Amino acid sequence: MSNKIIENSSVLVTGGAGFIGSNLCERLIEQDNKVVCLDNFSTGKKENISKLLSNGNFNLIEGDIRDIEVCKRATLNIDYVLHQAALGSVPRSIDDPITTNEVNISGFLNMLVAVKDSGIKRFVYACSSSTYGDHKSLPKIEENIGNPLSPYAVTKYVNELYAKVFSDLYGIETIGLRYFNVFGPRQSPDGQYAAAIPKFANALINHSSPNIHGDGLQSRDFTFIENVIQMNQIAVLSKQKEALGQIFNVAYGNSTSVNELFNILRELLGKYDNSILNIQPTYGPTRQGDVKHSLASIDKAKTILGYVPKYDIRIGLEKSIEWYWQELSNVTA
């Protein structure tokens, strides 16, 4: 079941110019689908989809999910929606909770209404492992969540509640995917809210010391983008009725400390430039709203959806580093 792919369908990818969204768009186009990408480029980048713009099966709508009319236009004649659009980042939500709420909750509700009114078959949407909040037990099991630790976590939990209500009230087939620390090609190293892996890679390529928040012993279930693409496809195509209205963890099912992550990145980049092997990280204060440890149980996804992730963190980092080296060493050369 896990090898099923979406073919010959019309798919809307919201946030399609972002890191995850653009990888989804590219794969869907390769598989002979018609793809509509909706993005306002607040965090997405046009260069992420530049190779797709000339493809007759790819349609870009530049617009904002906070505009219900834009959402309705984007969902016309669509079979499936992969909703990736959101204002990510825990620190960003602490700095600006109002915009985070407007995009992640009001925008999400707009999309649900548009999907309902358009009669779309299925709505698969991105959730977040931040929803587990202060729940201490590991691994994280979908049904056991704690209190949210940031405005971002609140918004992503509200998404799950809204999706379930729309599923129950209106019969929309919704499936939520709780992403755990996704990484891979096209993940931007720029800006204060960039994720750890591209930031570390960028610093090392530039021969500077990456900054680690806290002691580096905090751990995450780092998840390569290919596993996420696989999960989105099987969620769209699953015929299991018990999957509908449900939430599934999307991860590899292993945890890696931030210190271990740094060491792997340094080793891999050292193959391109051995002076990188001498770089040490610097340590700063722990970030507000961060959880100490995160590890996913993927048993539910395996049992109901047939999800079997193919890429562990090392294989994923090897593929990602090749991309980062090409992109960032050219910039810094």
pLDDT per residue over 81-117, tens digit each? 999 999 988 889 999 999 999 999 999 999 999 999 9
Sign of CA dihedral 184, 185, 189, 194: negative
Per-residue model confidence as pLDDT tens digits over 189-248:
886 667 889 999 999 999 999 999 999 999 999 999 999 999 999 999 999 999 999 999
C-beta of residue 108 within 8 angstroms of C-beta of residue 71: no
Residues identified as active-site: 152
Listing DSSP states for 125-190 in one string gives EEEEGGGGTT---SSB-TT------SHHHHHHHHHHHHHHHHHHHH--EEEEEEE-SEE-TT----
User: pLDDT higher for 289 or 332?
Assistant: 289
Give the chain's count of helices (H) and strands (E).
11, 13
C-beta of residue 128 within 8 angstroms of C-beta of residue 156: yes
Quote the CA–CA distance of 101 and 120 in Å, as a whole number: 25
Per-residue model confidence as pLDDT tens digits over 245-304:
999 999 999 999 999 999 999 999 999 999 999 999 999 998 877 778 889 999 999 999
Domains and CATH numbers, the chain: 10-186+224-252+291-310 (3.40.50.720)
Extended beta strands in the chain, E state: 10-14, 34-39, 58-62, 80-83, 122-128, 173-179, 182-183, 211-213, 219-220, 223-224, 246-250, 256-257, 282-284
